Chains A and B, each alone.
Chain A
Amino acid sequence: MTVDPQSGASGALPALAARGVDKTFRIPEERSHTLKERALHPFKRIRHEQLHALKDISFAVEPGEFFGIVGRNGSGKSTLLKCLAGIYRADQGEIWCNGRMSTFIELGVGFNPDLAAYDNVALNGIMLGLSPREAKSRYQRVIEFAELEEFQDLKLKNYSSGMHVRLAFSVAIQVDADILLIDEVLAVGDAGFQQKCFDVFNRMRDEGRTIVFVTHDMSAVNRFCHRAMLLERGEMVAIGDPTQVADKYLEVSFGRDIGYTDPGEEIPQVGDGAARVIDVWLGENPGERRAVAPQSVPTTLKARVTFNAAVRDPMVTLAINNEQHQSVIVGSTGGEHENSGIFRAGEEAVFAFSFHNMLAPGRYEPTFTVTNRGSGLSVIDRYEGRFSFVVTGSVVSGGMVEVPVQTEIISLGQSALGQKATA
């Protein structure tokens, strides 16, 4: 993280700070929306449902920092942004800012479909904090950036949604605030325009502006943010390194789905029943029961097997299948622990499989098969279709596994064919 404390206009003070911010929405169960109802039932108490949207949030953003706020839907991240922006009043706690602040909850706030680009740029610019003179003098730049020179005389209602968004974004970036609060506006426009947006964000970051950025997009968090914060049910669950926060976010969002299929579902028993896989889990100890395996870290899958009859040298094979039912990783105790010994009836054992997680992000289903060695391989039990986990990560190369690949370019000079061609 490269935060230069001197770059902020106010020296050592944070660009933005919150302490103990708490926000509760009171949602009336049946809304008395008219004077008539209030007059007819003056003593009727309106019951309210309390929605505790933010719980004791404290953090500080340094000047020049690119700070991400991530969280699932309804986690309170937009409420927090609105409290920071001064659109909602926090019930408790304090918020401070140092410098000119501008908020983008939505692009093109105040755009009027019946007016042409010029009037809308002026109006929107003023709403975002420009003076009318500034807004008008930057009109040309706005139109050029939005690539809408040919369409500037059209009324906005005749714009396509993409043109609309381009115009709105172009106005937004004209705002010369020191602190920008941005809510999920990155994912707009076509690929070319999106790249332009990313360039602008990079430029702003390099200019030392402070940016607070609410998003679902973990790759954007990894790309831009110096630090990030994870909100979950109104609480700050994590703050710090963006990659860790992003992983935690993915863990939280998939964690809900615990990964075990409903046990009521009938799964046909395979094998002779001399041993049964009674439990499998992801993680070191059975209590962990993780549903998410972050990419590029050591990962362990374990299976607990109980023996109903004596089994000699049993072998457990793990196959990790992707959503296309292809076995991406297969591991077996057969090689290393060929002679695993005799397990008597009533004994239990845990078979552990550890590997460096190179799986591509997605959902995987591990299958454990217990087999007998000796006269051919006979299946004792198979555990499948009852547990799945999610691999999270931001590296998506397109391959089934994400193996680090070293590349090199060796120049061989002019080839004989090339020489002929140039001759």
Chain B
Amino acid sequence: MSTGTISKPLDTPTESLGTAIRGPRALTDDWSRFWHLTYNIALSEFKLKFFGSALGYLWQVMKPLLLFAVLYVFFVVIGHVGKGGKPGEVNYGVQLLGSIVLFTFFTEATSGAVRSVVDRENLVRKIQFPRLVIPLAVTLLAFFNLMLNLLVVLVFALIAGIRPMLSWLELPLILAMLIVFSTGMAMLLSALFVRFRDIQPIWEVLSQILFYASPVIIPVEVVRRDLLHKPFLYHLYTLNPLVAIFQQFRHAMVNHATLSAGQALGSWAALLEPIGVVVGILVLGFWVFNSAAPHIAEDL
């Protein structure tokens, strides 16, 4: 009885003995399992929220609505934002609510992703699966919520007297850009958090800044007017992809009199900049996550 009694002598070093197992990765070759896992993890979380408490999903819808109510009272009723009587300010309330709902998706996807890999340690250390499933499931869960919240926006829009427009067809494109941006951030943050645990407070502050640096409360028109003589600052402002995304939402979904994303940025070609940022974040996020994936189980 010794180490020599191996049933099959492994003597030819170049010979392959089947499918090579190379350890965990971000992605997989089995895409249907990848999708099933992502979908079912997101779905079970969604069910928990839906059936988890007495009022169930009402709370999920209440969150943006309450934020909306607070902001509306302070900025519109008291601060008179959006009440200047300009054509772009018609239905400012619906614009505000729409932007809040989109921003809620962004924070749910990104802030929710920060801890996701660490919190799912149990899975990461115990089964083999493509690691990217975890942050993607967070984004997907946020997407489920977004769909329900957008229904609420639709109801408000119809009550406000907005009638369906052809430009509503732009919605998938607007959402696609938002989702790609959020997914890129989610991958980046969840991978970084494994190594650096202060990513969480840092990201809380950053997303607060992003909230005010996006056309949620303050319309682009106002920012552009105030920063007229500081073109560098305004340029910096428009590099935030959320500016183009939210602004185009306001323009195409609520009120054509508001600036379109192209107008806000100066030209449609200028849109390539925020699109570049979105693609850049996606690539960076994937690269960081992908290089962390093989060792994530050990680094937790």
- Which residues of A come within 8 Å of B, CB atoms? 10, 13-14, 17, 19, 25, 33-36, 38, 58-60, 62, 82-90, 94-98, 103, 105-106, 109-110, 112, 114-115, 119, 122-123, 126-129, 131-132, 227, 236-241, 244-245, 248
Q: Which residues of the other chain, B, contact A17 by a CB distance below 8 angstroms?
A: 8, 10, 17-18
Q: Which residues of the other chain, B, contact A88 by a CB distance below 8 angstroms?
A: 23-24, 297-298
Contact between chains at B199 and A35 (CB < 8 Å): yes
Q: Which residues of the other chain, A, contact B16 by a CB distance below 8 angstroms?
A: 96
For residue B163, CB closer than 8 A to chain A, the reply is no
Residue with the highest number of chain A CB atoms closer than 10 Å, among B1, B2, B37, B47: B1
For residue B279, CB closer than 8 A to chain A, the reply is no
Q: Which residues of the other chain, B, contact A126 by a CB distance below 8 angstroms?
A: 33, 36-37, 40
Contact between chains at A238 and B2 (CB < 8 Å): yes
Contact between chains at A58 and B20 (CB < 8 Å): no
Q: Which residues of the other chain, A, contact B55 by a CB distance below 8 angstroms?
A: none
Contact between chains at B127 and A105 (CB < 8 Å): yes
Contact between chains at B23 and A83 (CB < 8 Å): yes
- Which residues of B come within 8 Å of A, CB atoms? 1-3, 5-8, 10, 13, 16-24, 32-33, 36-37, 40-41, 44, 47-48, 52, 122-123, 125-129, 195-199, 202, 294-295, 297-298
Known: A14-B17, A34-B196, A132-B40. A114 touches B48 (CB 8 A): yes
Contact between chains at A105 and B197 (CB < 8 Å): no
SS class, residues of chain A in contact with chain B: mixed
Contact between chains at A86 and B44 (CB < 8 Å): no
Q: Which residues of the other chain, B, contact A110 by a CB distance below 8 angstroms?
A: 41, 122-123, 127
Please report the C-alpha to C-alpha distance between residue A17 and residue B18 in the assembled complex, in whole angstroms.
9
Known: A34-B197, A35-B199, A58-B10. A238 touches B123 (CB 8 A): no
Contact between chains at B10 and A35 (CB < 8 Å): no
The 3 closest A-B pairs by CB, nearest first: A89-B23, A98-B18, A96-B18
Q: Which residues of the other chain, B, contact A10 by a CB distance below 8 angstroms?
A: 18
Q: Which residues of the other chain, A, contact B18 by a CB distance below 8 angstroms?
A: 10, 13-14, 17, 96-98
Q: Which residues of the other chain, A, contact B36 by a CB distance below 8 angstroms?
A: 126, 131-132
Please report the C-alpha to C-alpha distance between residue A96 and residue B15 in the assembled complex, in whole angstroms.
11
Contact between chains at A87 and B128 (CB < 8 Å): yes
Contact between chains at B8 and A14 (CB < 8 Å): yes
Which residue of the partner chain B has the closest CB to A109? Answer: B126
Q: A96-B19, A126-B33, A129-B33 are in contact. List 13 more A-B contacts (CB 8 A).
A: A19-B10, A25-B298, A33-B197, A36-B198, A82-B297, A89-B24, A96-B16, A110-B122, A126-B37, A131-B33, A132-B36, A227-B7, A248-B1
